[in-house]
Chains A and B, each alone.
Chain A
Amino acid sequence: MFAHRVKSFVWQMKESSIWLLVLASVAFCSTSNAIQSPFESSAGLEPKTKIDELVFANLEKLQLEPSNLCSDAVFLRRAFLDVIGTLPTSQEANAFLRNRNPQKRSLLIDQLLEREEFADFWTMKWSDLLRVKAEFPINLWPNAAQAYHRWIRTSIKENKPYDKFVRELLTSSGSNFRTPQVNFYRALPSRDAQGIAQAVALTFMGARAEKWPREQLAGMGELFSQVGYKSTAEWKEEIIFFEPRGTNSSELSPKFTFPNGVAGSVPAERDPREVFADWLINKNNPWFARSFVNRAWSWFLGRGIVHEPDDLRADNPPSNPALLALLETEFVASHYDIKQFFRLILNSKTYQLSSIPKSDDTRSEIHFAHYPLRRLDAEVLIDALNQITGTTEKYSSSIPEPFTFIPEDQRSISLPDGSISSSFLELFGRPSRDTGLESERDNQITAGQRLHLLNSTHIQQKIEQSGFVRNATQSKGKAREMINEVYLAVLSRYPTEQELNIALDQSGKQKRETAVDLIWALVNSAEFLYRH
């Protein structure tokens, strides 16, 4: 890493004085030799994938230094949280940290992509974007929300190619209960043709159609002007169908304009939604693959190459155009294989950089010179707290009455319906599933959240009920072992010598109080509360 970086600087500074070069080398020596934190690794930064080549080249051009690679412990925790929305258990952490296989990071990625929680977590993500919610103002009704959620989950579990997934969502007809993907057309803020077009543009083109010229949206809207809705004798059942225009309509076949300006008309007997879907998922479509890869990049790297990740437009340029182009090409070449695409990002050194930046240059984050800190999602946070303490949580829905209560062992990342919630999820910024915007999820910390974590009976009781505390009071094992276990369970790593001493030195406290306060301190630490 060191040699590589110095070489690049030599290249950059060919024309400058030797004096500067010496200065630069000295500066690097002092930083790269100083890896002592449990968060970084001294492994080299030679590009491993094409992604790294493009990211590091861009950083060099901008004279930004990438962070060191993250340590195994950080990688383990990060990969679990990012890929399956789940904290590693202490056993999983221990096994990974002791594993000597040099390929263990990529092996872990492969394992995580096949876990059940992978399907749970990404179904949650898609349910946010598709607004899967019984009521309100989206009103799918509980059994339709459940069916829709199950359909999405099955698609993700089977790794359905993304183009197929989208085409099925856009072109299906049938009952909201029996053909669940038709709920796409029901979970919309607005059901008029342009309202549908706007939601389609946001979801699958990453575009804010309200910023388009009016004709562009109107032209696309024509393709959704024949979506029919009708109810049946069954309570809350609704059929979505292609409604041919009546013979007295002035135009039997709609004249549309694709968002790229190409105009056409649809034969009267053809469902225009299919015409649109085929245009959309064509490999040359300038929005389709781009919007997905940009979103996926933001899910793992904390920020889109185009930012916001769902605001693609000509006057919002990507921070690294070559990188975006590469990702698009790779995704299309893989036949829209989502897992394969995730694997590509996760195995890159760019993804595996430490979160400790080399400078406070604000461009560092925009150009992916380090992994950014992100507060855990509300659902992931409560699941992690439950896992650590061996406790559960109550979830309920007030729709319909009488209220529904969910079995307590349910993990919140697998809740099927946005109307099923808890006060914790509301407090910690779970998206309301009103708009489908990525920004609806608000992970900024507030004083109210901080109060809850530091001082609520809810969290305090969880800690007091945990197995660690029981064992500590029953004098099983030594304090040192307890501390090791707690560190593994909460932070997925062993304590440093210094931390061990601090934890042992809580003089004057009862055993029970020592254990409670240690867990309390660790679950309140930045290291636990943030993805890092």
Chain B
Amino acid sequence: MNTARSIAENALRRDSSRLLSGIGLPLSRREALRRCVFGTAGLLLADGWGIHALADTPRAKAKTVIQIWMWGGPSHLDTFDPKPDAGYDYCGPLNKAIATNVDGIQIGELLPLLAKQADKYSILRGMTHGNNGHETASYLVQTGRPSGGRDVYPSVGAVTSLLKGYNSGYTGLIPPYVVLSEAQGRFSEAGFLGQRYKPFATGGDPAQTRFVVEGVVSPGISDERQKSRRDLLTKLNTLGAAMKGDASLKALYQSEEQAYDMILGSEGKVFDLSQENSDLRDRYGRNTFGQSCLMARRLVEKGVPYITINYKGWDTHKQHFEIMRRKLPEMDKGLSMLLADLSQRGLLDSTIIWWGGEFGRTPRVQWEAPWNGGRGHHGKVFSSLVAGGGFKGGHVVGASDAKGDEVKERPIYPPDLIASMYELLGIDPNAKLPHPQGLDIRAVPTVGDGVKAAGRLKEIM
């Protein structure tokens, strides 16, 4: 184990200094440390694979993705694909569509603030994959691959953190793939890339007075006590003193140094939302989702390449309309403010916002027991929303039929959306991913891999 690691470390050292001397930068200790924060660079470079992805990739328009993951699958009829003429069995009490600031585009009546921002985003009404299981559909939408088969593929976030993280110029101490605040838990986001590419889950709740990010923020422990503890830890390190030079312990000390840079240094302050203007915090909404949106903006400013807001509570089999009335205004406020704030700060052009869940919900309301007014899973057609980072706003791509049951025109399969985002991020769709058994696997699956695809979203790029 130690041997393998020291070989890997040597290879890393060699490769990163070669890389850096190639682009004319000296490799300082701190730089070297940062490049290995959360271990990302190591594996990659040690595989002798590394940097080729950069060579012939398209020019990147986007630097960051904010993925708003609508955990459970949001209703398309009640959000971005309203069908006011479909009748009570489809609309329930939400039978009005409202106009937006773009001629001809209407959205659900509970989203009045987003209606004023429709020029900033485009609605994808032709999303489809036909799968109605949470796990399999979550996997499909976020990896672009059907489930089954021998390998578990990495999600968009894991691939982005691999290809836009430490070996592509990102140097932050904040890991390149952050999830606010709990991991999805439906599947391993990192897939065969291994746990090092899993998102850093912040834990805590940004809507609390203090956003306690597990490990970074420890209420009640002063900096002075932190230092005295660290001193005690060093003094009581009897095993370490007996085996100086051990490679595992070196890795432990290195991770410790990085951890303390976060705890005692300035970078951890990004999570301190009290630094924001109180009025602005109000306008995002003083709830978990609203403050997560604000938090995401702060992470964008730090250059973090991939941020997921894991927005739970959309699996509305029962009490669907009550939940819509409660949650959609919250979503409306947070998301519209995020669009406005990013735009005002000139960050929207380089930040992709991707809103969506694993599927939509059945257009026909299930009035019967035990649902009593719920909506089931619906993978045949659903809506996603994209904004910024090179995506044009003010468009609708694809359409569902009169009742929102099936795709009417321009189907959009998950790989179409993923490939489009990669293009904007400057990720070569043919970039080879490092596979533990050395299989030849590319960032975006193709029809040859047995997936359905109808082409990138050229309409809005």
A-B residue pair count with CB separations less than 8 angstroms:
190
Residue interface mask B182-208, A partner, CB < 8 A = 1: 110111100110111010110100000
Contact partner of B436 (CB less than 8 A), chosen from A360, A437, A449, A460, is A437
Residue on A with the closest CB to B233?
A: A521
List which A96-147 residues lie within 8 A (CB) of chain B: 135-137, 139
B1 x A372 contact (CB < 8 A): yes
- A520 CA to B188 CA in the complex, in Å? 31
Q: Check A517 for interface membership: any CB of B closer than 8 A.
A: yes
- Check if B313 is an interface residue, CB within 8 A of chain A: no
A445–B437 touching, CB < 8 Å: no
Whether B218 contacts A525 by the Cβ 8 Å rule is: no
Contact A529 B252 (CB under 8 A): yes
Closest to A517 in B: B229
Taking a contact as CB atoms under 8 Å apart, the answer to whether B256 and A454 are in contact is yes
Shortest Cβ distance from B157 into chain A, in angstroms? Answer: 15
A509 to B219, CA, bound (A): 18
Given A444-B39, A454-B259, A526-B252, CB of A372 within 8 Å of CB of B239? no
A432-B152 contact given A372-B2, A423-B201, A524-B233, CB 8 Å threshold: yes
Cβ contact within 8 Å between A506 and B232: yes
Inside 8 A of A27's CB, which chain B residues have their CB?
Answer: none
Query: Could you tell me if A137 and B1 are in contact, using CB atoms closer than 8 angstroms?
Result: no
Which listed segment binds B: A159-167, A236-244, A324-332, A496-504?
Answer: A496-504
With an 8 Å Cβ cutoff, the count of chain A residues facing the other chain is 74
**For the complex, is A439 an interface residue (Cβ under 8 Å from B)?**
yes
Q: Which of B37, B135, B195 has the most CB of A within 10 A?
A: B195
B238 touches A373 (CB 8 A): no
Chain A residues near B135 (CB-CB < 8 A)? 135-137, 139, 399
Give min CB distance, B173 to chain A, whole Å: 8
Q: Name which residue of chain A comes closest to B245, CB basis.
A: A360
Q: Give the chain A neighbours of B218 by CB distance below 8 A.
A: 455-457, 460
Q: A362-B3, A423-B201, A434-B152 given as contacts; is B239 within 8 A of A526 (CB)?
A: yes
Judge whether A445 and B152 touch: CB under 8 Å: no
Given contacts A423-B183, A525-B236, contact A445 B251 (CB under 8 A): yes
Partner of B147, one of A137, A522, A530: A137
Binds A, one of B121-129, B209-217, B415-423: B209-217
User: Would you call A450 an interface residue if the criterion is a C-beta within 8 Å of the partner chain's C-beta atoms?
Assistant: yes
Chain A residues whose CB sits within 8 angstroms of the CB of B239 once the complex forms? 39, 525-527, 530, 532
Task: Give the distance in Å from the alpha carbon of A355 to the alpha carbon of B2 in the complex.
Answer: 12
The distance in angstroms between the C-alpha atoms of A458 and B262, with both chains bound, is: 18
From known contacts A190-B148, A455-B259, infer whether A525 and B233 are also in contact, taking CB-CB under 8 Å: yes
Return the CB mask of B225-245 against A: 1 if under 8 Å, else 0. Answer: 110110011011111101101
B5 — which chain A residues lie within 8 A by C-beta? 444
Pair B229/A373 contact, Cβ less than 8 Å? no
Q: Which of B248, B255, B315 contacts A450 (CB 8 A)?
A: B255
Q: Which residues of B contact A452 (CB under 8 A)?
A: 214-215
Residues of A within 8 A of B215 (CB): 448, 451-452, 454-456
Tell me the complex Cα distance, A195–B151, Å.
Answer: 12
Indicate if B139 sits at the interface (CB-CB under 8 A): yes
B149 at the interface (CB under 8 A from A): yes
Q: In the complex, what residues of A have CB within 8 A of residue B216's CB?
A: 451, 455
In the complex, B340 has a CB within 8 A of chain A: no
Q: Is A366 an interface residue (CB 8 A)?
A: yes
Query: What residue of chain B has the Cβ atom nearest to residue A188's Cβ?
Result: B150
Determine if B6 is an interface residue (Cβ-Cβ < 8 Å): yes
Task: Give the residue of A137, A366, A445, A447 whose beta carbon is less than 8 angstroms from that of B187.
Answer: A137
Mask of A421-460 contacts with B, CB within 8 angstroms, 1/0: 1010011010010110101001011111111101111101
* A437-B436, A450-B258 given; A365·B3 CB < 8 A: yes
Residues of A within 8 A of B1 (CB): 302-303, 365, 372, 374
Distance of A373 Cα from B196 Cα, bound (Å): 20
Q: How far is A444 from B252 in the complex, measured between Cα atoms in Å?
A: 9
Q: Which residues of A contact B237 (CB under 8 A)?
A: 525-527
Q: Is the CB of A447 within 8 A of B238?
A: no
Within the complex, the shortest CB–CB distance from A423 to chain B, in Å, comes to: 6
* CA of A360 to CA of B243, assembled, Å: 10
Contact A195 B183 (CB under 8 A): no
Given A190-B149, A522-B236, A447-B243 contact (CB < 8 Å): no
Interfacial residues, chain B to chain A (CB-CB below 8 A): 1-3, 5-6, 37-39, 134-136, 139, 147-152, 175, 182-183, 185-188, 191-192, 194-196, 198, 200-201, 203, 212, 214-216, 218-219, 221, 225-226, 228-229, 232-233, 235-240, 242-243, 245-246, 248-249, 251-252, 255-256, 258-260, 262-263, 315, 436-437
Q: What are 23 A-B residue pairs whose CB atoms fall within 8 Å in the complex?
A: A37-B242, A136-B136, A136-B147, A137-B139, A137-B147, A357-B246, A423-B214, A426-B201, A427-B201, A439-B436, A442-B194, A445-B248, A446-B255, A447-B262, A455-B221, A455-B259, A499-B238, A502-B236, A506-B228, A518-B232, A525-B238, A526-B240, A530-B252
Besides A302-B1, A357-B246, A517-B228, 10 other A-B contacts (C-beta < 8 A): A38-B238, A190-B150, A374-B1, A432-B152, A454-B259, A455-B263, A456-B203, A521-B236, A527-B239, A527-B240
